[in-house]
Structure 1
Amino acid sequence: MDILVTLGRTLGFSMTAGVNLYATVGILGLAARYGWVSLPAQFKVFDHDAIIYSALALFVIEFVADKIPWVDTLWDSVHTAIRPLGGALIAVSTLGEASPLMQGLVALLGGGLAASSHLTKAGARVTVNASPEPFSNWILSLSEDVFVLGLAMLALRYPVLALAVVAIAFVVSLVALSMVIGSLKRLFARRRRALLGDQPA
């Protein structure tokens, strides 16, 4: 059961890091600072003023940027390497004492989960931004915020349940990512045909 608890927290936070790294780090820091739940000693690494305040400040910036069409896509592009790396670091930090082999495997798994959730989010944003309906962006962004907060709190309080949610969310993200890629291919194909059609013979 201990390994399931550890994996539930480790992988739960890795997945949320792919959607919103700064909210994830902020929640970890506040949870360790104020003892929301009984956490292992390794979580104290997040209990530092510089980490907490920087994460919260960057979360506020991301919260605003995420609500502005195409600014969110630019923000996501900048974070294409940052979020998976953050997910890997969070995975290793929350793992605790483990062999180098286990740390490496968990880092790869955490980084992979963060990358999958990041790519799903970034691809969905491009698809939504191409839509003429202006409120979809806000709805999607707020849904992501709720997902991050919900999964993070679940990982803190009910890590085994969080592990099950991560497994389901990973499968859903793969399906969603394939749909997003298909939509983007069709969108770019239509625009290419339109541009070629506008050219003089």
Structure 2
Amino acid sequence: METLDTGLWQQLVAWLHGMGIHLGSGVVNEVGSQVGSGVADVAAKLDMPSLLALAAALGWASGFRLYAVVFLVGGSGAMGWLPLPEGLQVLQHPGMLAASGFMLFMEFFADKVPGLDSLWDMLNSVIRIPAGAALAAGALGADGSTMALVGALLGGGLAATSQAAKTTTRAAINTSPEPFSNIGMSLLEDGMVVGAVWLATNHPVAFGILLVIAVVLMWIVTWMLFKFLRAVFRRMSALFSSAPKEA
């Protein structure tokens, strides 16, 4: 990873030279060594608790914003901010970044329109859970198939939890005619994805504690909103069935 990041720094220096900005060799070597040292320090933090936290974050956040997760993690790896495990290095490929960036752009706006957000949710629900399982497996699967299976179960379960909470919450919000609650909830989900990835990679223990609390709250909210939605649907069915019929 250090060699890769030093190469990126050299490419940046070459680009600056092409723009007519010249840096002395001493500055180039000094900054390059500092960049490589910084990346090496970050890479040293990716022990098993950090990998577990990263796998859990990828699975949980995928239930909300799969494309944001792929683009954020892949972009961080390509910029040298986050040393990716071998199973996730495909995310920093330029083609993958272009595809995930395009889908992220589409989802960012589709998720903030009442009605369209639920349709988008339904269309993407078939991919979020298996993708969350695959991302978590990629984070843990470098040491063998057993850890890859553990990661898949962890990521898939967390993605299913967040997906269920998102779907029921949005369905309940869409019963209100005003659009601001949709926009506010969507922006909150955007922030939670960024915060989850950052916290998992910088403070894995704190992330683990907060994740347990968040999962329990999501189960409670999903159960309560599911009962609420069933009651709404029953009232609507009764209303339409009791409406006077034209002769």
Q: Which moved more, 1:46-55 or 1:35-44?
A: 35-44
Question: Residue 60 of structure 1 aligns with which residue?
Answer: 105
Number of the residue aligned with 2:151: 106
Partner of 2:125: helix, strand, or coil?
coil
Aligned 1:80-99 pairs, distance under 5 A: 80-99=125-144
CA distance in 2, matches of 1:46, 1:194: 50
Whether contact under 8 Å (2:56, 2:136) holds in the other structure is yes
2:85 and 2:138 in contact (8 A); partners too: no
Match of 1:116 among 161, 181, 184: 161
Where does 1:64-75 land on structure 2 (aligned, <5 Å)? 64-75=109-120
Unaligned stretches of 5+ in structure 2?
Answer: 1-45
Indicate the RMSD between aligned Cα atoms, in angstroms.
Answer: 1.8
Q: Following superposition of structure 1 onto structure 2, how do residues 18-167 of structure 1 map, counting pairs within 5 Å?
A: 18-167=63-212
TM-score, with normalisation over the residues of structure 1?
0.93
Q: Flag the structure with larger Rg.
A: 2
Please tell me whether the aligned partners of residues 92 and 103 of structure 1 are also in contact (alpha carbons under 8 angstroms).
Answer: yes
- Shift of residue 47, structure 1, vs aligned partner: 1.3
Sort the Cα spacing of 1:40 and 1:109 in 2 relative to 1 into closer, same or farther, 3 A: closer
Aligned equivalents of 1:124, 1:197: Cα separation in 2: 29
100-109 or 2-11, which deviates more = 100-109
How far the C-alpha of 1:104 sits from its partner, in A, is: 1.7
Q: 1:179 and 1:154 mapped to 2: Cα distance?
A: 28
The amino acid of 1:170's aligned partner reads V
SS at match of 1:132: coil
> How far did residue 49 of structure 1 move?
0.5
Instruction: Say whether the 8 Å CA contact 1:13–1:155 is kept in structure 2.
Output: no
Q: Structure 1: give runs of 5+ residues left out of the alignment.
A: none
Contact 1:8 1:161 in 2 (8 A): no
Cα deviation, 1:23-52, whole Å, max 9, x if unaligned, reads: 000011011111214444444221100111
Higher relative contact order (CA 8 A, sep 6+): 1
Q: Name 2:214's counterpart in structure 1.
A: 169
Asked whether the 8 Å contact 2:139–2:151 carries over to 1, the reply is: no
- In the comparison of the two structures, how many residue pairs are matched? 201
Specify the SS of the correspondent of 2:142. Answer: coil
After the TM superposition, list the runs of 4 or more consecutive aligned residues in structure 1 that deviate by more than 6 angstroms.
none
| Residue in structure 1 matching 2:237, options 189, 192, 198 | 192
TM-fit CA distance, 1:200: 4.0
Identify if the C-alpha distance between structure 1 residues 161 and 39 changes in structure 2 by more than 3 Å, giving closer, same or farther.
Answer: farther
- Report the alpha carbon displacement of residue 98 of structure 1 after superposing the two structures with TM: 3.2
Conserved 8 A contact 1:42-1:93: yes
- Residues 110-119 or 97-106, more deviating: 97-106
State percent identity of aligned pairs.
34
The equivalent of 1:16 in structure 2 is 61
Aligned equivalents of 2:60, 2:181: Cα separation in 1: 23
Whether the 8 Å CA contact 2:132–2:155 is kept in 1: the answer is yes
8 Å contact from structure 1 (residues 32, 43) kept in 2: no
